[in-house]
Amino acid sequence: MNRLRNKLILIFLAATVVPWGATLWITTSVLDESLRHRSTHELDEMSHSLEQVGRKFYQEARESLKAAALAGRIAPQHFAEGEREQWPEQLRTFWTSGNSERFVLAGNNGDRLDYFVRGRGEGLVYSRPLGIEMDGISAQHRNARKLVTADQSHDLRHGLISVWVLLASLIWLGALVILAFFAHRVSGPIQQLTARLSQLAAGDFAVRLKSRRDDEIGRAIEAFNHTAGQLEQYRDRLIYLTQLASWEMLARKMAHEVKNSLTPIRLTVEEMLARHNGTDRAFLEQASQIVVEEVESLERRVRAFSQFSSEPPVRPRELDLNALVEDRVAFLKAGHPDVKYDTRLHAETVPHAFADEDLVKGILVNLLENAAQAAGDGGKVLAVTHVSNGNVAVEIHDSGPGLSEQARSTLFQPTISFKKNGMGLGLSISRKSALLSGGDIVAVAGELGGAAFRLVLPNGSNGVHKSSHR
């Protein structure tokens, strides 16, 4: 589960739910209060009041008219039953209804109240003017009620409040979705980085992360990839040094045992030659010379193994890499007159290495000598210096046949040689010297069609100093 993303969402909820609720409550209260006092609300109240006043006035007018009729203060109009054909329409309707009395609004726009009474064989009509037009009041009341009813059917107040609540909720939900999206974009790379860190801690140094971000997370991913690469290099170097340590122990033991056997053999052969005075002295001299030469050859091999197994003191200091390359090239030209040596030295700033001078010279001699032997007569050797990634480097290229896949797989292993009369210790000793100096040797693509090696050393211009060690 992505805890960081969930925490960001919870923070958003905690920071917005309370203000969102308070905003909705305040705004809905204000809308409700303001909409309550609009004209339709007042019109509703006025229509009810007008209706009550009209009813009360009509009721009092009816009671007053009836009382006056009963008291004889008003003379009625008499309509004989036999003349119903000439009766007013409303009187005929009353007579046929069978009621004993009835009040009817009459006149122009209902400004007169008529009181119909059923008599013996006749209809009596008592009338009194009202002084107001009841039909006009009724029409105004009906129009007002229509307006109020139409407004209530639309329910503007509740509609506005509902729309506002819905709109605010949609905006808040939209903000939540956007936050969840960006929270996933922020937390996703961090989650991947955490997972890759776990893989790295478990020993998978080949793990890498891809990212095109240019923010803090992108820089963190770049730092992780750089650190993983450095750890992978350190692991490979440690494995190589561990393998060399096993070979060194074997070399020390073999050198000691062979040396102990060679010394008495040489002394015995020389003593035999010194004491013999016979006629076969020439043959003995020839035989003893062969034995001595073979013993000396074995001694050279023993010294090579001794050099491989030894750990000379490392005294690093700042070195002019261009000057060292030119010196070694000039030194080896005489030994390979048929090989053309070229140099391409870094000219913008003089590359300064911080390493042991003797070790670097030995590495350069070995690489240049191997290149000359691989190029052969008429071949070419190129030495290049440059500065890269905070380090200084020397590349040695040759025009020889190059390296096979088998040679590349066992290139720096001791006792593996692909040259005639080679012992296979040169590149192993050179890489060991480079590692002791804080650098390394790697095979690279050759510019002259053959093999190429790059010696990488710490940059002395960075002010990095290392203590001497054994």
Each residue's pLDDT tens digit, 215-234:
677 777 778 788 887 887 77
381 within 8 A of 341, measured Cβ to Cβ: yes
Average of pLDDT values for 205-221? 75
CATH code where residue 432 lies: 3.30.565.10
Cα 211 from Cα 191, distance rounded (Å): 13
Q: What's residue 470's pLDDT?
A: 31
Which span out of 207-211, 217-221, 356-360, 396-400 was modeled with the highest average pLDDT?
396-400
pLDDT digits (tens, 9 = 90+) for 241-256: 777 676 666 666 566 5
Q: What's residue 379's pLDDT?
A: 95
Question: Final residue of a domain: which of 153, 178, 204?
Answer: 153
Q: How confident is the model at residue 281 (pLDDT cuts 50, 70, 90)?
A: low
Average of pLDDT values for 414-426? 55
Question: Of 260-274, 305-319, 403-417, 438-452, which gets the smallest average pLDDT?
Answer: 260-274
Same domain membership, residue 26 and residue 161: yes
Q: Per-residue pLDDT for 342 more than 60?
A: yes
Residue 392's H or E segment, with its range, is strand 391-398
**Residue 136 or residue 340, greater confidence:** 340
pLDDT digits (tens, 9 = 90+) for 18-37: 677 777 777 777 666 665 54
Residue with tokens 């002394």: 267
Angle among Cα 19, 23, 29 to the nearest 5 degrees reads: 150
Same domain membership, residue 225 and residue 328: no
**Residue 115 counted as domain residue:** yes
Question: Of 221-230, 232-241, 283-292, 380-389, which gets the smallest average pLDDT?
Answer: 283-292
Q: How confident is the model at residue 2 (pLDDT cuts 50, 70, 90)?
A: low
Same domain membership, residue 440 and residue 427: yes
Q: Tell me the residue type at 173.
A: L
Average of pLDDT values for 377-389? 92
Q: What's residue 380's pLDDT?
A: 96
Same domain membership, residue 285 and residue 356: no
Same domain membership, residue 300 and residue 367: no
CATH code where residue 224 lies: 1.10.287
Question: Final residue of a domain: which of 139, 170, 189?
Answer: 189
Q: How confident is the model at residue 51 (pLDDT cuts 50, 70, 90)?
A: confident
Same domain membership, residue 295 and residue 257: yes
Task: Tell me the whole-structure pTM to 2 decimals.
Answer: 0.46
| Domain span at 322 | 316-462
Same domain membership, residue 386 and residue 295: no
pLDDT digits (tens, 9 = 90+) for 433-454: 898 888 999 999 999 999 999 9
Q: What's residue 420's pLDDT?
A: 46
Q: What's residue 335's pLDDT?
A: 83
Same domain membership, residue 302 and residue 175: no
Same domain membership, residue 246 and residue 293: yes
Among residues of the chain, what percentage have pLDDT more than 70? 71
Q: Per-residue pLDDT for 85 more than 50?
A: yes
Q: How confident is the model at residue 1 (pLDDT cuts 50, 70, 90)?
A: very low
Q: How confident is the model at residue 57 (pLDDT cuts 50, 70, 90)?
A: confident
309 within 8 A of 255, measured Cβ to Cβ: yes
**Residue 197 counted as domain residue:** no
Q: Per-residue pLDDT for 350 more than 70?
A: yes
Cα 338 from Cα 336, distance rounded (Å): 6
Q: What's residue 448's pLDDT?
A: 94
Cα 193 from Cα 181, distance rounded (Å): 19
If one counts the domains in the chain, the total is 4
Which span out of 27-31, 75-79, 287-291, 293-297 was modeled with the highest average pLDDT?
75-79
For all residues of the chain together, what is the average pLDDT?
78
Q: Tell me the residue type at 330.
A: A
Q: What's residue 239's pLDDT?
A: 76
Among 254, 193, 256, 261, residue whose Cα is nearest residue 227: 193
How does DSSP classify residue 314? B
**Residue 203 counted as domain residue:** no
Same domain membership, residue 146 and residue 61: yes
**Residue 229 or residue 93, greater confidence:** 93
Among 358, 441, 450, 361, residue whose Cα is nearest residue 398: 450
Q: What's residue 227's pLDDT?
A: 84
**Residue 71 counted as domain residue:** yes
Residue with tokens 């480079």: 434
**Residue 400 counted as domain residue:** yes
Q: What's residue 306's pLDDT?
A: 63
255 within 8 A of 298, measured Cβ to Cβ: no
Question: Final residue of a domain: which of 263, 288, 309?
Answer: 309
**Residue 117 or residue 245, greater confidence:** 117
Cα 223 from Cα 220, distance rounded (Å): 5
Q: Per-residue pLDDT for 101 more than 80?
A: yes
Q: Per-residue pLDDT for 290 more than 80?
A: no
**Residue 207 counted as domain residue:** no
Average of pLDDT values for 263-288? 65
**Residue 286 or residue 335, greater confidence:** 335
Q: What's residue 371's pLDDT?
A: 94
Q: Per-residue pLDDT for 456 more than 90?
A: yes
Pairing type for strands 440-443 and 380-388 reads unpaired
Same domain membership, residue 63 and residue 170: no
Average of pLDDT values for 456-464? 73
Average of pLDDT values for 176-180? 76
**Residue 164 or residue 327, greater confidence:** 327
**Residue 223 counted as domain residue:** yes
Which span out of 141-155, 224-238, 386-400 was modeled with the highest average pLDDT?
386-400
Same domain membership, residue 453 and residue 399: yes
